[in-house]
Amino acid sequence: MGAVRMSPEVSTRPVTGPSVWTAADFESGEPYVRHLTGAELNALDEDATVHADLIAELVDRLENGIGYAVLRGLPLGTRYTPEQASRIHRTIAEHIGEIVPQSRKGDLVRVLEDAHHPAQRGGTYASKAGAPFHTDPTDVVSYLCLSPALSGGARVVASAATVYNALLREHPEWLDLVHREYATDWEGEQPDGEPGWSPRPIFSVAGGVLTCSLATKRIISAMRFEDVPRLGAEEMTCLMYLDSLLRRPGTAVHVNLRVGDMEFVGNHTVIHSRTGFVDDPSDPGHQRRLRRLWINRGAEGRPLVPALRRWRAGLS
């Protein structure tokens, strides 16, 4: 069997509260969007400070709300250059937590764009094809939209709690499977001295709080290592079922980021992906470029099981 070992606690109760949502909950608008005020922009201009109320609201949305927020209203291209907007993005992120490395080389920032760009390295994020649903191994991932694609490239987000509740209703016999730890491929980004995979549970409970860490593609690809147990038929069926839940009509929300938008995703409660995209080779304003940060909330973040806690500080 492909699981490494059991998590010490299994949740058998449906999740309730604002972290449980579907696309239907956002039909009347974009409640995840928080618009920057003129006073907040002036403060950033004058002394590079961020209003405490703004940070408190973002943190509350991430920790106690839907787990997702888009900060809109940064006038990139008129009031701010890409470099100035990037500094503002970093300043806001630093007030949420610690910016941590996204690679074994210690990269604190990654710019996501077409893989043909000479500065771009490999990986799903560097492909024009759609990305699989997944969570990143730190507390919060944040993106600044420097420019959108000509078409496509929508961010796709779904509630992990909604997926878990569906599992409880439809396949409670798989609760044991999703709480086990599975070898998860680092795809070459493992820290020095670590194997090419790490054991992580898909769902886990710490401090009475349910957390999700899902990366189906990486769980399957980890079997390329000889020391990783093979996935059994039931485990594969369960993984495909979870992926199908995310793709059911009405589960996930598609978000088209605008120039200057800053997106914040709570990795422990929101599963994300993106659609494929097409760039305009003759127009830099329609060539998809996102600036990505990983943020560690540390002791102020939610409690995590040891297998997840060790990675919230990023890679290096």
Which residue, among 189, 200, 164, has the nearest Cα to 11 in the 3D structure? 164
For the cut 50, the answer to whether the pLDDT of residue 1 exceeds it is no
Does residue 316 form part of some domain? no
Q: In which band, very low, low, confident or very high, does the pLDDT at 8 lie, cut at 50, 70 and 90?
A: low
| Spatial distance between the Cα atoms of 221 and 223, rounded to a whole number of angstroms | 5
Does residue 314 form part of some domain? no
Does residue 86 form part of some domain? yes
Which residue, among 210, 203, 213, has the nearest Cα to 179 in the 3D structure? 203
The domain total for the chain is 1
Does residue 121 form part of some domain? yes
Does residue 92 form part of some domain? yes
**pLDDT tens across 128-141, in order?**
888 899 999 999 99
**pLDDT tens across 46-84, in order?**
766 788 999 999 999 999 999 999 999 999 999 999 999
Q: In which band, very low, low, confident or very high, does the pLDDT at 118 lie, cut at 50, 70 and 90?
A: very low
| Spatial distance between the Cα atoms of 49 and 313, rounded to a whole number of angstroms | 25
Average pLDDT over residues 189-210: 93
**pLDDT tens across 246-277, in order?**
999 999 999 999 999 999 999 999 999 999 99
Structural domain range at position 226:
3-309
Does residue 208 form part of some domain? yes
With a pLDDT cut of 90, the percent of the chain lying above it is 83
Does residue 315 form part of some domain? no
Contacts of 133 (CB under 8 A, 6+ apart): 156, 158, 214, 216, 243, 246, 247, 271, 272, 273
For the cut 90, the answer to whether the pLDDT of residue 239 exceeds it is yes
Distance of CA 215 to the CA centre of its chain: 11
Number of C-alpha atoms within 13 angstroms, CB side, residue 157?
27
CATH number at residue 133: 3.60.130.10
Does residue 250 form part of some domain? yes
Within 10 angstroms of residue 284's Cβ, the number of other Cβ atoms is: 11
With a pLDDT cut of 70, the percent of the chain lying above it is 93
Cα torsion through 274, 279, 284, 289, rounded to 10: 20
